[in-house]
Amino acid sequence: ARQVLRGASFQVPHCMSAPGDTSGVPNGMAPTDRAPSSFTSPSRNGHAKSRLEPMQNRVDKVRAMEEGVRVTQRASAETLGAVLDAAKAERAHLRLKRMAAFDSHDYDPADNDLEEEALRQRTRKDYKSANRWRWGLSVMIGVVMGFVAFTVDGLIDKLNAFKYGAVTGLIDGGMSDFAVWVTFVGISGTLAGVAGGMCSYVEPLAAGSGIPEMKTYLNGVHLKGLLRLRTVVAKLGGIAFSISAGLIAGKEGPFVHGGGLVGGGLSAFGSHSLGFSFPKLNHFRNDADKRDFIAIGTATGVAVAFGAPIGGCLFAVEEGASFYSNTMLWRGFLATCMGVLTIHWLDQLDFDAKDFARAKFGTHRDFGLYTDDEANYSRVFWWYFWEVPLFAGLGALGGLCGALFVKLNVRITSLRQKFVPVTHRRKRHLEVVFVAVVTASVMFLLLRHSPCAKIPGNLLTTSDTAGNAVGSPSRLDLGDAAQTPFEYGAEDGNAIREKFFRRLYCPEGEYSLYGQLFFTPLAKSLKLLVHLGEVGEGAAEVASGERTFMFGMDALFLYFFVMYGLMVWTYGVGAPTGLFVPSLAVGAALGQIFGRGVAAFVNAIDPSIQIDLHTYAVLGAAASLGGATRMTISITVLVMETTGSMQLVIPLMLVIFFAKAVGDKFSLGIYDTHIKIRGAPWLVEHEQTGPVFDKLQVNEVMADRLVTLKPVSAVSDIVQALCETTHGAFPVTPVAPRVPGEPFELHGTITRGVLLKLLHHRVGFMWGPFGDDDSYHRNEGSFHAGPEGLHRGCVEGLHRGGVHSDELSSIGGDANSPTGESQSKAFVGKSVSSADLDLSGSGAGSGERYSPSSTAQRKSKLFESASERSELLETLKQIPFKPPPIAELVKRLTPEELRASINIAPFMQRHPFIVHADARLSRAYRLFRTMGLRHMYITPEKPMVVGVVTRKDLSGENAALTLGERAADSAREYLMDDANPFHDGVSSNKDADDEHGPNSLFRDKSGNNHDLPFLPYYPGNVDTEDLGSVEMQTQVVGGGALPEGSARRRGR
């Protein structure tokens, strides 16, 4: 690379190999997403690169503070929120250094000249097509995730059946304990080895829950490899083996990650990994649209994991998406509906596909043991008003358990990072196997030493229950499964005994009490804790006093502490693991214990009052999950949808509220905690930022050493800027600032990705003087030709009708002149219109061979037709194909190409967001976070103003009328021309009349007609002139509107 650059008489830069290099960056901040800082090219600004003091000096200043001064500053309101301890300063310093390794997304829509030209030419058909694809993609995401969930669930069921079936067979066959233990541990360890291998050797980002990563990504932080095809394979394939191995893990987190992968992949209509894309289906290849479809995918992932479509939608709104919109919610609503509908359809087909028409749907809960008809939830869940304070106490207890879980998991994660780092694949893989072996061994020990109890009498034979009436103490009357062969989830008495009351190591007629909870999949044990006893299993024993409760207190306490400890240890291991199901299971045990205590107290006062332990199990599960994650609305709906506890909506809300309130006093939620400790520059909502942002001004944190590019820059200058910095964008100005902080004209900004695309595809390369003989290169046929396309391009004439010669300056002389005065200032302050870009197609033929030496006498243009413009825009998009890094591109550039120049004006963002230098930092944060920006530029305290807009100026009616006036003014001369076909004033195109008629003022992007009457109603807000007439006062003469029409509308 250095030899290539030397061949171009260019000062060799050092191409950074790691995006996180922060050498020379002020304050140690990551330059990737800030206004480019700390680098000033000698070839452009004429002064040497400055070296700032290292950021460690900031920590030293805090450390050097005297204790007395520090105490004084702590008591001052001016420093509320400041870091005044050396230890905290050190941690903040390390986090800032870590942030330098992250890139960001830019959700600000592209606003360059090419995009503006394309938007001006966009027809109603284009808008309708994009809207139809938005809804169609939502349906596709739901259907695909339904198939994915069905496949993963089926694999989990098959693996669990194999493992528990093999071990149960050995127990029934009288094999030795050692043989049974070896088999159980061997199968669990092997399955865990597959899950861990997928994360250690296929894709490390597939490990863990995936929710912190998706939250970070949707917040605007790019995580490399998060949405790759191999990531989704490792994630969704690994979670089936993790759960089957017996790890204390759930599938919901990996399904959230998998849903995001499906949503992002389908919306791109292409794949970088597979190397294909559909050129025509390019509506959503931008960061903002991809973000929305990923959020829809995460909602669908939760929905299909739990069978809870509304809960999935609310999860995306509350926890997943940082940028919420109504349209995203509507499409997510459809996607979750289609996802759950698909998986229910597939489940029933798998259960009995021969008589599908007679199958009953809507009677099965994801966390239910029985169908809704069998369970009769209105008899299962109830509560008393006097229990409300007890529910609040249970919620507070769940919040404490959640906060303790977060604290302990952070300690374990720190030790894991020290002894089992992510970079050490073998150790990380072995840890997964070790955790699975220990978990299986603990479960086997509890199974082997489990006490036994008699199987409920009404489960011994189905005939015993024939005479039981509904509502009697023993109301189990499920009958024979043959009576309901087409209902998925229906059970009979024999099936309940065989599934939930297994003998294992107990004598005939008894079942294993600990085996019921520990020797079973985690999700099944959760169902037992919540629902066992709903249909009257063991009711006769309870009524006779032979047995009081379904679970003993010893089993509940063992389950709570064992599962809680294993959950803390397992979360964060190098395998796909979710948190929802483990936290719900632990909470259900906690609720049972709490309910047993309440029942004992109430029984001592009034034995006639019955306490519903099912209610406390559901509330305990919600409290535990809320205390760990700090979610509220989505957990309430998820628990109700999955358990059928609609009667508990008020208690659930109270419990979850107190769980979050208490947990927030001690720590962040588990997902936010892992985002924080991993060092990602995650931006919370501005209401949660704290007082420190109100104490500072923007100019106190901004970077003032900016790397700038000229509107027409030498390729060598662009390469040097890309090599010597890792900045994500560069401001464009004809005259760079001479000293740090000096104001300069901001003509726009251009991102690193666009520059890399221009270099990779040789778009806009120019040779020779830029003036009357300016020369462009345009790839003939395809902009995807890469370096080879440069020598197949066509050079043609370009006549710029809108650019005057005094706006252009020659580019002759040395392109690397230190002063940069020889470079051009083309298009300074001027937007390239359709006339500038010349869509007419005039010019020479395209069959001539390109030669760089001949370009001084010839000219070309970037495109000559709408199809070529679309192809150029597609080439510059970062989705689905990313450009190669600059270290690779510089090796492919020839000396001739390095001596060329590029006019970057048509490709730069014309109107980046700005904020005043003396504005509060909280104001800048609110703008930055709300708009989803990647960088924001700072203006002087007193910028110049040319106008103002108000709410009514931004209304759809005003915009439509203004556009109509402009169209009328532009068409006046054409309509008066005798040669045009519309001179008689009658249009022959009905569609054109409909599109530009008065009704078009009330059409939205999708083409829906909302032609509503104007009926002024509010007396205090109606103009007196409007009370007598609602007709428009603007007069239209000769196809144009009189100026007083628009002036009156603007309130002038």
Q: Residue 2: phi, psi to the nearest 5?
A: -65, -35
Q: Residue 455: phi, psi to the nearest 5?
A: -65, 135
Is the pLDDT at 722 greater than 80, yes or no?
yes
- H or E element at residue 761: helix 752-761
Percent of the chain residues topping a pLDDT of 70: 70
Cα separation, 199 vs 230, whole angstroms: 10
Cα separation, 239 vs 229, whole angstroms: 16
Is the pLDDT at 729 greater than 60, yes or no?
yes
Mean pLDDT in residue range 376-395: 87
Is the pLDDT at 138 greater than 90, yes or no?
yes
Q: Residue 401: phi, psi to the nearest 5?
A: -65, -40
Is the pLDDT at 451 greater than 80, yes or no?
yes
pLDDT band of residue 842 (cuts 50, 70, 90) is: very low
DSSP assignment of 705-731 equals: ----B-SEEEHHHHHHHHHH---SEEE
The predicted-structure confidence for 993-1036, as pLDDT tens digits, reads as follows: 444 444 444 444 444 545 677 676 666 665 555 545 444 444 44
Query: What is the model's pLDDT at position 51?
Result: 37
Mean pLDDT in residue range 923-940: 88
CA atoms in the 13 A half-sphere facing the CB of 535: 23
Query: What is the model's pLDDT at position 79?
Result: 67
1044 vs 73, which has greater pLDDT?
73
pTM: 0.79
Least confident of 316-330, 600-614, 778-792, 973-987: 778-792
Is the pLDDT at 9 greater than 50, yes or no?
no
Mean pLDDT in residue range 100-115: 84
pLDDT band of residue 96 (cuts 50, 70, 90) is: confident
768 vs 397, which has greater pLDDT?
397
Query: What is the model's pLDDT at position 411?
Result: 94
- The β-bridge relationship of strands 901-903 and 765-766 is antiparallel
Is the pLDDT at 363 greater than 90, yes or no?
no
Sequence-distant (≥ 6) Cβ neighbours of residue 888 within 8 angstroms: none
| Dihedral, 251, 257, 260, 266 alpha carbons, nearest 10 | -80
CA atoms in the 13 A half-sphere facing the CB of 672: 18
293 vs 29, which has greater pLDDT?
293
Mean pLDDT in residue range 1043-1050: 48
pLDDT band of residue 545 (cuts 50, 70, 90) is: low
Query: What is the model's pLDDT at position 831?
Result: 36
Is the pLDDT at 624 greater than 50, yes or no?
yes
Mean pLDDT in residue range 335-351: 90
254: left (phi over 0), alpha (psi -120 to 50) or beta: alpha
172 vs 370, which has greater pLDDT?
172
Question: How many other C-beta atoms lie within 10 A of the C-beta of residue 901?
Answer: 26
114 vs 339, which has greater pLDDT?
339
Query: What is the model's pLDDT at position 761?
Result: 87
719-754 per-residue burial string, b: 16 or more CB within 10 A, e: under 16: bbbbbbbbbbbbbbbbebbeeeeeeeebbbbbbbbb
Is the pLDDT at 379 greater than 70, yes or no?
yes
730 vs 847, which has greater pLDDT?
730
Q: Residue 208: phi, psi to the nearest 5?
A: 80, -165
Averaged pLDDT of the chain: 76
Angle formed at CA 34 by CA 29 and CA 39, multiple of 5 degrees: 75
Strand partners, 454: 510
Is the pLDDT at 728 greater than 60, yes or no?
yes
Least confident of 270-279, 637-646, 827-836: 827-836
Mean pLDDT in residue range 977-981: 58
Select the highest-mean-pLDDT range: 345-349, 615-619, 779-783, 962-966: 615-619
Is the pLDDT at 1044 greater than 60, yes or no?
no
Cα separation, 787 vs 137, whole angstroms: 35
Query: What is the model's pLDDT at position 592?
Result: 94
946 vs 580, which has greater pLDDT?
580
The amino acid at residue 854 is: S
- H or E element at residue 1037: strand 1036-1037
The DSSP letter of residue 201 is I
Is the pLDDT at 580 greater than 90, yes or no?
yes
Least confident of 13-22, 313-322, 655-664: 13-22
pLDDT band of residue 568 (cuts 50, 70, 90) is: very high
627 vs 976, which has greater pLDDT?
627
- H or E element at residue 99: helix 86-99
The predicted-structure confidence for 756-794, as pLDDT tens digits, reads as follows: 999 988 888 887 554 444 444 444 333 433 344 333 333
Mean pLDDT in residue range 11-32: 42
The predicted-structure confidence for 474-524, as pLDDT tens digits, reads as follows: 445 544 434 444 344 556 667 778 888 888 899 888 889 999 999 999 999
pLDDT band of residue 67 (cuts 50, 70, 90) is: low
Cα separation, 535 vs 476, whole angstroms: 5
Cα separation, 11 vs 232, whole angstroms: 44
The predicted-structure confidence for 642-686, as pLDDT tens digits, reads as follows: 888 888 999 999 999 999 999 999 999 999 999 988 888 888 887
Query: What is the model's pLDDT at position 693?
Result: 84
C-beta of residue 421 within 8 angstroms of C-beta of residue 427: yes
Mean pLDDT in residue range 535-545: 63
The predicted-structure confidence for 219-278, as pLDDT tens digits, reads as follows: 888 888 888 888 989 999 999 999 999 999 999 889 999 999 999 889 888 887 777 778
Mean pLDDT in residue range 94-100: 80
The 3-state DSSP class for residue 594 equals helix
Which among 673, 436, 408 has a CA at the least distance from the CA of 565? 408
Q: Alpha helix locations (H) across 571-704?
A: 580-605, 613-629, 633-643, 649-664, 670-677
Query: What is the model's pLDDT at position 44?
Result: 37
Cα separation, 615 vs 650, whole angstroms: 12
Mean pLDDT in residue range 619-625: 95
193: left (phi over 0), alpha (psi -120 to 50) or beta: alpha
Which among 338, 14, 320, 17 has a CA at the least distance from the CA of 147? 338
Query: What is the model's pLDDT at position 474?
Result: 43
C-beta of residue 191 within 8 angstroms of C-beta of residue 432: no
Query: What is the model's pLDDT at position 877?
Result: 84
Which among 701, 590, 599, 709 has a CA at the least distance from the CA of 655? 590
Query: What is the model's pLDDT at position 442?
Result: 95
